[in-house]
């Protein structure tokens, strides 16, 4: 099964591809990167480029399932003060917009789309912690992997573990939203 995951953002979108049918060495199962755009591009221009890049990735890897981190209305770990006041509502809106672009394009190439809540796959951990976990699991050079790419790898890895748990529990693994 080929699993493709995205950590959606209008500036730097992390992606990861895991092929669960490849050998058991974790580092041989991964393809990942970051889709980056010039700060000179408008939001609309970045959106078009994001759509094209997602289409290319889907055509190249032919995923069985596409995972997209959905932008929450409230993301406590990074977007809220303890008082409950939103710090970056504009960024949250743009990330939601990006997630929608990815989902829309991906469904043209793959029927199975799963929207994943950040709290589901990582709880409140920071990107730096995710990078360390990804390094431990996949032995990836941390100098090469940024936080967005590490998050996408972690989302894909979470889904692989989730499928294993569902299989052990006797479930079919066809949940659509987490």
- Kindly state whether residue 178 falls inside one of the protein's structural domains: no
Domain containing 149 — which CATH number?
A: 3.30.420.10
| Among the listed residues 128, 104, 149, the one whose alpha carbon sits nearest the alpha carbon of residue 5 | 149
- Kindly state whether residue 126 falls inside one of the protein's structural domains: yes
- Kindly state whether residue 19 falls inside one of the protein's structural domains: yes
Please check the confidence at residue 28 and state whether its pLDDT lies above 50.
yes
- Kindly state whether residue 26 falls inside one of the protein's structural domains: yes
Chain position carrying tokens 């940024």 = 146
Host domain of residue 36:
2-169
- Kindly state whether residue 174 falls inside one of the protein's structural domains: no
Asked whether 138 and 88 are in contact (CB, 8 A), the reply is: no
Asked whether 46 and 37 are in contact (CB, 8 A), the reply is: yes
- Kindly state whether residue 16 falls inside one of the protein's structural domains: yes
Lowest-pLDDT choice from 35-39, 40-44, 81-85, 131-135: 81-85
How many structural domains are present in the chain?
1
- Kindly state whether residue 28 falls inside one of the protein's structural domains: yes
| Of 7 and 130, more confident | 7
């Amino acid at each position: 099964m080929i699993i493709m995951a995205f950590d959606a953002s209008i500036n730097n979108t992390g992606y990861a591809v895991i092929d669960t049918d490849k050998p058991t060495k974790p580092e041989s199962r991964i393809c990942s990167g970051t889709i980056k755009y010039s700060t000179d591009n408008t939001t609309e221009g970045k959106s078009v480029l994001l759509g094209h890049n997602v289409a290319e990735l889907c055509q190249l890897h032919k995923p069985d399932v596409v995972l997209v981190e959905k932008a929450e209305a409230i993301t406590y770990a990074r977007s809220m003060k303890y008082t409950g006041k939103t710090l970056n509502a504009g960024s949250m809106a743009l990330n939601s917009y990006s997630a929608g672009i990815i989902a829309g394009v991906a469904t043209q190439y793959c029927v199975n789309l799963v929207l994943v809540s950040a709290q589901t796959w990582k709880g409140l951990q920071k990107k730096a912690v995710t990078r360390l976990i990804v390094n431990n699991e996949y032995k990836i050079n941390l100098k090469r992997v940024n936080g967005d790419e590490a998050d996408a790898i972690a989302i894909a890895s979470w889904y692989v573990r989730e499928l294993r748990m569902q299989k052990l529990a006797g479930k079919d693994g066809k949940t659509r939203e987490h």
